[in-house]
A and B are shown apart, each in its own frame.
Chain A
Amino acid sequence: MSYYDPKDLRKFGNITEWSEELGTKFFDYYGKVFEEGALTAREKSLIALAVAHTEMCPYCIDAYTKDGLQRGITKEEMMEAVHVGAAIKSGASLVHGVMMMNKVNKLDG
């Protein structure tokens, strides 16, 4: 059995049972974040999908792929969002290359 069970996503709301105040506050906050605001709910859904991938959260990927489909978001738009996440992730690794260069220059420049 895998550590991740897709059916566990259905039980997410149950976290409130063992800490009602914090759980309720979290879900109120979560719900508010995804409401239409300065950003559209559609834009927020795509951001969530990109972050779901950078966080490598299987539950979030399931949830926001489905959410995107419900909103009429196309697979091309979803894949571009995933690439945005991936580009930031790889960029975040690569930009540390400057640290390596700085160190080389200091030690052996």
Chain B
Amino acid sequence: MTKLKTQSLHKRESELANATTQLEFLANGIFANGELPSFAEKIKSSGQFPLKPKKLEILQINVGYMCNQVCEHCHVDAGPDREEIMTKETMQQCLDVIKNTGAHTLDLTGGAPEMNPNFRWFVEEASKAGIKDFIVRSNLTIMVANKKYHDLPEFFKKHNIHVVSSMPHWTKGKTDKQRGDGVFEASIKALKMLNDIGYGKTESPLKLDLVYNPSGAFLPGDQASLEKDFKNALFEDFGIEFHHLFAITNLPISRFLDYLIASDNYEDYMYSLVEAFNPAAVTNVMCTNTLSVSWDGWLYDCDFNQMLELKVAGKVKHISEYNEVALNNRNIIISQHCYGCTAGAGSSCQGAVAS
């Protein structure tokens, strides 16, 4: 049994639940007094402004903010109390786009995407479109949370879903600290269920990747080294196998921003991000090859901009009026949170983007 960490910022009626408040905070302080350059100034100095999309490769759809967990650093501010859920009508609009997109990857996320009542129907329909890589971001614990989810591994296998799951550490203490009591054990159980039907095995086409994001106010270390340590520890301790580890940086928005401010780590964290700025990571930053769709069908440059309610620039803003050519001509909307994706080896939903 897992135990929730806390409530969402929305439920707590925190000021930081408001996207405008977050953006104002990120624009003020050390960025307003000249201590640190804004992200726009920084990419101007490296000749990368304005940020433009390249070829669309990944269509990422957020089917709702409801989740069975309330992780400490969730950028979505997801939780059981969030009621924003994609309707079947919006899913149908997404399907029309999925059938015609040039993107090779479809990436479903949430919340816990499996909690959307039309999730299985949507996956079945979307898998008919023949997308090369069909990802579902699963928090693992959902598979063991309730009887009705126990067959998810088989369902994923049937539709050749690429499962990508969060795992902040190979130890119970650090995982439960970030994601809630009991989450580590439930995650191990779910990983074993996936391994048992072939997911994550070395030569298996059933892809199982893990996502690591730091449990506190520090940046992720080298992705390849962390992957090695995760693989060794999870195999030695539990016999668990997986394919790749994606190391993702926590962006200073939503619950992680709340944590940074409350723990007096905000300034140091922003300094770390700015000092680690890497122009090579800007070149491959995920908003240049990804489009994010929200539960209500609006289009965003990335999942983070979605949470900050920064809709794409240009005339086409909703899935119902989707036009890939028009969207490809837009300028990407940026703010100080973008430093999170350009620090060190960079960070994206697919992990590091530069060496």
| Given A10-B271, A10-B275, A41-B225, A74 and B174 contact (CB-CB distance below 8 Å) | yes
Q: Write out the residue numbers on chain A whose beta carbons fall within 8 Å of the beta carbon of B216.
A: 69
| Given A10-B271, A10-B275, A70 and B229 contact (CB-CB distance below 8 Å) | no
Q: Is B221 an interface residue (CB 8 A)?
A: yes
Partner of A70, one of B170, B221, B271: B221
Q: Count of B residues near A, CB < 8 Å? A: 19
| Contact status B275-A70, CB under 8 Å | no
| Contact status B214-A70, CB under 8 Å | yes
Q: Is B219 an interface residue (CB 8 A)?
A: yes
Q: Is A53 an interface residue (CB 8 A)?
A: no
Q: Is the interface of A mostly helix, strand, loop or mixed?
A: helix
B312 to chain A minimum Cβ distance, whole angstroms, is 33
Q: Write out the residue numbers on chain B whose beta carbons fall within 8 Å of the beta carbon of A69.
A: 214, 216, 218
| Contact status B225-A71, CB under 8 Å | yes
Q: Write out the residue numbers on chain A whose beta carbons fall within 8 Å of the beta carbon of B171.
A: 74
Q: 8 Å CB contacts to A: which residues of B133-186?
A: 169-171, 173-174
| Contact status B220-A70, CB under 8 Å | yes
With CB as the reference atom, state the residue of chain A lying closest to B219: A70
Chain B: residues with CB nearer than 8 A to chain A? 169-171, 173-174, 212, 214, 216, 218-222, 225-226, 229-230, 271, 275
List 6 extra interface pairs beyond A69-B218, A72-B169, A72-B212, CB under 8 A. A10-B275, A41-B222, A69-B216, A71-B221, A71-B229, A74-B173
Complex A-B: 14 CB contacts under 8 Å: A10-B275, A40-B225, A41-B225, A42-B225, A69-B218, A70-B218, A70-B220, A70-B221, A71-B221, A71-B226, A71-B229, A72-B212, A72-B230, A74-B174
Nearest 4 CB-CB pairs, A to B? A70-B221, A71-B221, A69-B218, A66-B218
